[in-house]
Amino acid sequence: MDLILTGSQTVGPFFHLGCSDPFSIPVIASALIKGEHIKFVCTIRDGEGTLLPDAMIEIWQANADGKYNHPGNDEKREIDEEFRGFGRVASDKNGCCAFETVKPGRVPSWTSVAQAPHLEISVFARGLLKRLVTRAYFAGDPANNEDPVLALVPAERRETLMAHADASQPNTWRFDIHLAGEEETVFFDI
């Protein structure tokens, strides 16, 4: 019997199965949670601009008061049990995925200035050996001007970290993730 060399797959042919119901977590904050409720929509593209129908996005975020739902968070702020703080959704055939949540509050930083509201995002997709980590800030938020992490990113690249309000859909923010190419999203080496 002759063995034929086959292509390797970094995430395997069944990757998308682990992202489908009941493993998806599209609701980060239920309707009962206080704060500005938003829909957060991500679009994922490869270096050629092609939409990826088989990526997975994970989001970690603080609640509207700026507290993470994590036992190691010792902030003196309350966390509602209905606030998950984490979401995971696979992209659909159009390279999109959406989360229901609240706009996060400012969280402390290593400086005296609190970080601007943002979402921590991990991207998993074919061809990636490790997750890619980025952030989504809210375009137009005045706190962006003093965020210590955003200040580390060259000014001409900061736009790749901005989610924009969708004028056609109230309370909806859109964030485009480009894995490579001219519009490549800034990814952090953590």
Domain contains 2: no
Q: What is the pLDDT of residue 4?
A: 64
Domain contains 13: no
Q: Cβ distance 149 to 161 under 8 Å? A: no
Domain contains 189: no
What are the structure tokens assigned to 91, written together?
Answer: 């992209």
Question: Residue 138 in 3-state DSSP?
Answer: strand
Report the CATH number at residue 25: 2.60.130.10
From residue 181, alpha-carbon distances to 47, 49, 115, 190 in Å are 4, 8, 28, 21
Domain contains 130: yes
Q: What is the pLDDT of residue 7?
A: 54
Q: What are phi and psi of 64, to 5 degrees?
A: -65, -20
Domain contains 85: yes
The tally of domains found in the chain comes to 1
pLDDT mean by block of 10 residues, the chain; 190 residues:
57 53 82 94 94 94 89 72 89 95 93 95 89 97 97 96 97 97 93
Domain contains 33: yes
Q: What is the pLDDT of residue 93?
A: 93
Query: Could you tell me where the beta strands, DSSP code E, fall in the chain?
Result: 37-45, 56-60, 86-90, 96-102, 118-124, 132-138, 162-165, 172-178
Q: What is the pLDDT of residue 48?
A: 92
Domain contains 5: no
Domain contains 119: yes
Q: What is the pLDDT of residue 171?
A: 96
- Domain assignment of residue 43, given as a range: 20-178
Radius of gyration, CA atoms only, the chain = 18
Distance CA 176, CA 163 (A): 8
Name the DSSP class of 112. S
